[in-house]
Structures are given as structure tokens and as C-alpha cells.
Amino acid sequence: MTENMADVLAQADPGSPVERRSLWTRFSSKSPVVLALLALVLGFLIGALVIIFSTNTVLDAWRGIFSSWGAPGHALKVTFDNVGAAYRAMFTGSVFDPSQFWHSIATGKQWDNTLTPLSETLTYATPLIIASIAVGIAFQTGIFNIGANGQAIMGGIAGASIGSMINMPAIVHIPLTLAAGIVGGMVAGSIPGFLKAYTGAHEVIVTLMLNYVIAFFLVFVLLSTPFQLPGQSNDISRTMHSSAQLAPLFGAASGLRVSYGIFIAAAVVYFAWWFLERSSLGFDFRITGNNPNAARASGINARRVIVVVFLISGGLAGLAGVVQVSSTTHYVDGNFLIGSAGIGFTAITVALLGRNRPMGIVWGSLLFAALGVGGRNMQAATGIPLDLATIIQSVVVLFVATPVLVKEIFRLRSSSAQGIQLATKGWGS
């Protein structure tokens, strides 16, 4: 697990008594993991309320509770049936389905069906992890990169162009495609980087607005000759050659979409951990994020830090974009990462959920991906709109961002006050 800086600081503080913490005190304390889990519980409870108030059969059952002695019990049962069916479908659609699992164990068949939910969750999580790391590294430096989505789109455009318009063997083509994505993201990231470093333009405004510029650039590119799919008049790019695609891990015949992209995500997570915890540049980044004045006083070149962090963050966001394209659709079209599909925006909330730390981000991404994928299964099985998954995601983030509220609701003890503050430090300061 990640090393919690604040815990280290708290123990080093001579004012606080050094105590051995039992498992229970750990659990009942406001440790970030516990807070996130409790936020998740609250998210599911509020999601249950939304299900109850938007499902007619449940409401009808409650309207009739005075009609007979058995009615209140019936209403409770209907409520639990509906809420339970929704959450069960969410779970079986994103993790695994017990009955399907035992069927596979017993007969040795249909393993593809058993593994599909996990495969789908990983497929969705892969680009999200990379994009969230991109946002998280910037946040750790005190830089708000709201433009990760635009940078990811640029990466997707660059990667899809290289992947579809050149022919070469896969061993060269895949790295070149990924590199093109990184460069595309870096180009988009360098604009706010240089503007902030040399003119002091606020990066939130610049990155946020660049998202719109890039979204229209996407439409422009998709409608211009070399990029647009020949013989089409709508906004869609050529399809990437198979030599540039990230192939499914278990082969195309397996039907499982999880691709070699997860190794790229793993490498990015390791890189982020090494960079932030082990490299001297990463140390400069974190010092700048924690206290810009101290950083300047100790001789850290603030301009260089700003430009480099935007290059790294933009490059990773671009990588997320190209991984998304080359592992799923293999083409880019007019609604690529637009609207609620924008992983660059989801990445901001995931980075907050994971407290900007690589492993935290991995868990956060898996959770968000599972909710999204499970939401689809829930809608297919119960008819409850998959927007419920978005509601749960939003509520979780809301509670993670307000630890005091969670603390009050669950009456948690304050064992490391600094740990709590750090969760939201830098957000809005």
C-alpha cells in the first residue's frame, strides 16, 4: 500500500503520544481507506433511496401500507427485492456471477461468460487509471489539470492517425502509436504549461477552455480529408490497422475485451510511484505542491516544475486516450470522450477518491469502472437507468471530499487529523 505521508508526520510529531494501533482502532479511525469505504456505503444507501423513490412498484407498495396488517411487511419486502435486484445485477455484471461461476466450475464450460464482467471492468478501468494518474501527478504538484480530457482526445487523434495511416510490423507500430498519443497529449498540455510558467495565466481557466477548443478540433480533423474514413460524410476516422491495436489478452476468439493495455496501465502506476516517491524531480514536485514558497526558497525552479508537470500530465492523459482507442473501438468519431464518456473528467474525481496516490487511484478507477459496467447490467436486467451508477459515483466523491460529514455520521475518532486535511488539501486553495 501507499505510504501515508501524514501518518509519518503525525508519528514524528513529539506532541502526539506514540501508540500501537490495534486493528479495531485502525478501522474506527479516520484513515483514508476507511473514509472511502464508508463514503461508498453512504453512496449505496442514497442510491437505494433513489431506486425506492423512482420505482413505481415500490412506491405503490408503500402507498398501500395501511390497507391491511400484512401490508407494511409486504412493502418492506418489495423494497428489499427491488433494491437488492438492482445491486445484485450491478455486482454480477461487474465482478462475477456466483451461479455462472459454479456452472463453469462444475462443467468446465462457459468460462468466457464467467470472466466477462471482470474483463469489462478492467477494460473500462485501464484508460481511466492512466488518465487519473495524469491528473493525480499534477494535483500533487498543486497544479489543477482540468484539461486531461482534451489532452486525451489529442492523444486519441494522434494515435489513431499513426495507427491507421501507416503500415508497419506490430513490434514497431504499437510503440509508435502509443508514442504518438503521448506526444499529442504533451502538445495539448504544453500550452497551459508555458502560459502559466511564463505569463502567470491561471491553469484552471486555460485547461478548462482548451477542452472546448480541442473538442471542436476533433470535429474539424474528423471531417478533413486524410483523417476521415473514405466514402463517409459523417465525422469518423479511419480504422486502426491490426498491427497498431492493443490485442485482447486472451485472443479475439475468447470474446473477452481486456487487452494488453492493462500492462501499460501497470507500468504507468509503477512509474508514478517511482517518480513521486523515489526521483528527485518528483520530490521537487511534491515540495512545490505542499509549499510553493518553501520550494522557491530552497532553490527549486518553479517554471521548470510547472512546464515539466504539464508535459508529464498531458503526456499520460494522451496515453490514456490512445489506449482507449486502440483497445476498444479502433477508430475515433465525433463523440469520442465527449460528454459523460469523458474519462478526463471522471479522472479528476477518481484522483480525489484515490487521494492522488497511485495505488489509491487504481482502487478508485476499479470502483468507478465496476459501477459503470455494473450499471449497464443493472439497466439490462432491472430497467433501472444506468445513471444510478453515476449518482452513486457522485455521492461517493461528495462524501470523500467532505470527511467531516462522514466523521459525524459514523462518529469516527480523530486519530490523525492531518490525514483528513490532506484529502482535500490543495483543492480550491
Partner 1 sequence: MKRGEKMGTLRRLGSVLGAGALVLGTLTVTVAATATAGAASNFKACVVTDTGGINDKSFNASAYQGLLNAAKADPSIKPSYLSSTSSSDYAPNISTFEKKGCGIIITVGFLMDAATAAAANADPSQKFAIVDDAPAAKKSHEVLALQYNTNQGAFLGGYFAAATSKSKIVATYGGADIPPVTIYMDGFVAGVRYYDKLNHATVKVLGYTPPKVCTLTNCAGKGTFVGNFTDQTAGKTIAAGDFSNGADIVFPVAGSVGLGSIAAAQQAGTGHFVVWVDSDSCATKALDAAQCKYIDGTVYKGVTPSVEAAVLSAAKGTFTGGTYLGNLKNNGTGFAYDTTNASAALKAKITSIAKGIEAGTISVNPNSYPVG
Residue ranges that bind partner 1, judged by CB under 8 A:
24, 28, 38, 41, 44-45, 48, 77, 80-81, 83-85, 87-88, 93, 113, 116, 120, 219, 233-234, 255, 257, 324, 328-329, 333, 335-341, 373, 376-377, 379-381, 383, 385-386, 409-413
| Least distance in angstroms from the C-beta of 83 to partner 1 | 6
Please, are residues 302 and 296 in contact by the beta-carbon 8 Å criterion?
Answer: yes
Q: How far is the CB of 308 from partner 1 (least distance, A)?
A: 32
Nearer to partner 1, 231 or 428 (CB): 231
Nearer to partner 1, 5 or 85 (CB): 85
The residues, any chain, with a CB within 8 Å of residue 84's CB and separated by 6 or more, are none
Comparing CB distances to partner 1, the nearer of 143 and 256 is 256
Tell me the Cα Rg of the chain. 24
Nearer to partner 1, 118 or 386 (CB): 386
Q: Which CB, 193 or 318, lies closer to partner 1? A: 318
Instruction: Tell me whether residue 204 or residue 338 sits nearer to partner 1 (CB atom).
Output: 338
126 to 67, 259, 261, 397, 426: CA distances (angstroms)? 52, 9, 7, 20, 26
Burial of 390 (0-12, 13-18, 19+ CB in 10 A): middle
Instruction: Identify any residues that bridge with 333 across adjacent strands, giving them in sequence order.
Output: 236
Nearest to partner 1 of 56, 340 (CB atom)? 340
Our CB check for partner 1 shows the closer of 122 and 272 to be 122
d(CA 99, CA 92): 10
Neighbours of 363 (CB within 10 A): 18
Minimum distance, C-beta of residue 379 to partner 1, in the bound complex (Å) = 6
Shortest spacing between CB 317 and partner 1, in angstroms: 17
Cα dist from 312 to 276, 281, 282, whole Å: 12, 12, 11
Minimum distance from residue 375 beta carbon to partner 1 (Å): 10
3-state DSSP call for residue 14?
A: coil
∠ CA 105-109-115 to the nearest 5 degrees? Answer: 75
Q: Which residues are registered as beta bridge partners of 228? A: 237
Element (H, E) at 82: helix 71-94
Q: How far is the CB of 84 from partner 1 (least distance, A)?
A: 3
User: Helix, strand or coil for residue 333?
Assistant: strand
Give yes or no for a contact between 139 and 303, defined as CB atoms under 8 angstroms apart: no
| Contact yes or no for 371/393 (Cβ under 8 A) | yes
Would the CA dihedral through 37, 42, 47, 52 be positive or negative? positive
Phi, psi (5° rounding) for residue 220?
-60, -50
Q: Which is nearer to partner 1, 321 or 358 (CB)?
A: 321
Give the number of residues written for the chain.
429
Beta carbon of residue 253, minimum distance to partner 1 (angstroms, whole number): 9
Rounded to the nearest whole angstrom, what is the least distance from the CB of residue 109 to partner 1 in the complex?
Answer: 14
Cβ at position 37, least distance to partner 1 in Å = 10
Based on CB atoms, which residue is closest to partner 1, 97 or 203? 97
Distance between CA atoms of 222 and 215, rounded to whole angstroms?
Answer: 11
For residue 303, the minimal CB distance to partner 1 (Å) is 37
